[in-house]
Amino acid sequence: MIDIKLIREDRELVKENIKKKFQDEKLPLVDEVYELDKRVREVQVKMDGMKADKNRLSSEIGKLMKDGKKEEAEKVKAEIAKDGEEIKALETEMEELQGKIRDIMLVIPQIMDESVPIGKDDSENVEVEKFGDPVVPKYEIPYHADIIEKLKGMDKASAGRTSGEGFYYLLGDIARLHEAMIAYARDYMIDHGFTYAIPPFMIHGDVVTGVMSFPEMEAMMYKIEGEDLYLIGTSEHSMIGKFKDQIIKRDELPINMTSYSPCFRKEGGSHGLEERGLYRVHQFEKQEMIVICEPEESMDWYNKMWKLTVDIFRNFDIPVRQLECCSGDLADLKVKSCDIEAWSPRQKKYFEVASCSNLGDAQARRLGIRAKGEKGTYYLHTLNNTVVATPRGLIALVENNYQEDGSIKIPKVLQPYMGGKEKIEVK
């Protein structure tokens, strides 16, 4: 959510930002908000004037009664009652106007950083840098589900009977490897100064609308029937929500935390679910990181955060690249975002395993996350980034560490979490 002052002072900047995101259908909203806000200020001025008059007239009643001017006092009382009704009507109008403004402001995109490349959709995202050499071995690499099933590490058929399509059982050493990745990522982030947290896995609706746009919510979130609760799609939601309506002391900034959670997503739409494999499923686990910081520090944190994910995947012996999200692929709340993509030697291309985002003050405005400075309170900036999400991270690890005999080489950093085991072998 942008500052309403920006629309008052520079509507063209807001419109130009919308055009760069190829959302021209939203352009009329800027002028609509401008007019609504103009009316709000008119109503406020009128209401303030009438309240001042009401207070002045109220002070006169006592004087008139004291002077024995009862009839005049009654006239003043009638005038005050009339003013009171009009003030109440103005207050109702004000409430309706502010509600309309908020609804529209939730739809107008955040102002992007100037460095965001302009493009219509994800096909125009820009590769920034590669880390590690992508290798295609001389032997064939099977589909990840076939590799894992041969190692007796997955059962989707049973999950289909218990839960339906989009769910899975992970078993044996593969399940252990999955948890080893999460545990290593947790410890890595703790070692880099992040506070570990396990958050609530359900959140209220006002937190959902505070951290994401309505279209994202509809596409992702599962709602608990009959309750104001949603299953989280990522722990960023409840971690940022932790600071809702808080004024944070400046000496407590920055707040940098890493959180574990299961994640639940509808995964509806054209891409559908992964029928056999684990790439697109309803349930997965993730280690996340969030930062709440001073506005002038957010871009530095953005760059620190995505690099931490790169380091972790390189420690898993997985080549990755950073892909800058273009304007048309940037979610409305985001100032800047990039994906970390892992190399798939089977497909001979990269695929997304992590996403890092700077949301500026968008979430902070929606949720009331502020600090207090010399010139009063101000909104902080929020950022989030995937540390490791499984099973996508697991797919990348399995493919890049697959051996010709069907075994999986376990990266050295994960061996202590696997009881010293160096390989997962076909039984």
Q: What DSSP string runs through 57-108?
A: HHHHHHHHHHTT-HHHHHHHHHHHHHHHHHHHHHHHHHHHHHHHHHHHHTTS
Say if CB 80 and CB 60 are below 8 A apart: no
Measured CA to CA, the distance from residue 101 to residue 367 in angstroms comes to 16
pLDDT value at 7 more than 50: yes
Tens of pLDDT, residue by residue over 73-87, are 777 777 777 778 888
CA distance 391 to 181: 10
Is the confidence at residue 99, as pLDDT, over 80? yes
Quote the percentage of the chain above a pLDDT of 90.
81
Strands 255-264 and 195-197: parallel
The answer to whether 253 touches 369, Cβ cutoff 8 Å, is no
Domains annotated for the chain, with CATH where assigned, are 4-105 (1.10.287.40), 122-424 (3.30.930.10)
Express as a percent the part of the chain with pLDDT over 70.
Answer: 97
Measured on CA atoms in the order 157, 163, 168, 169, is the torsion positive or negative? negative
Higher pLDDT pick, 49 / 185: 185
pLDDT confidence of residue 270: 46
Q: What is the model's pLDDT at position 159? A: 94
Backbone φ, ψ for residue 135 (5° rounding): -120, 135
Check: CB of residue 53 under 8 Å from CB of residue 83: yes
User: How many Cα atoms sit within 13 Å of 127 on the Cβ side?
Assistant: 11
CB of 377 closer than 8 Å to CB of 371 = yes
- What is the rounded distance in angstroms from the CA atom of residue 119 to the CA atom of residue 126? 9
pLDDT, the chain, mean: 92
pLDDT at 82: 78
| Average pLDDT of the residues in 263-278 | 73
Running DSSP on this structure, what letter comes out for residue 172? H
Helix axes 27-66, 11-20, angle to 10 degrees: 150
Whether the model clears a pTM of 0.85, i.e. scores above it, the answer is yes
> pLDDT tens digit string along 207-262?
999 998 777 777 789 999 999 999 999 999 999 999 999 999 999 999 999 999 99
Q: Pick the more confident residue, 312 or 57.
A: 312
Helix (H) or strand (E) holding 309: helix 298-315
pLDDT at 271 over 80: no
pLDDT of residue 273: 60
pLDDT at 77: 77
Q: Is a pLDDT exceeding 70 seen at residue 407?
A: yes
> Distance from CA of residue 14 to its chain's centroid?
22
- pLDDT over threshold 70, residue 302: yes
Residue whose entry in the numeric block shows the structure tokens 């709440």? 292
Task: Provide the 10 A C-beta neighbour count for residue 73.
Answer: 18
d(CA 271, CA 344): 19
| Residue 131 three-state SS | strand
Band of residue 268 on the pLDDT scale cut at 50, 70, 90:
low
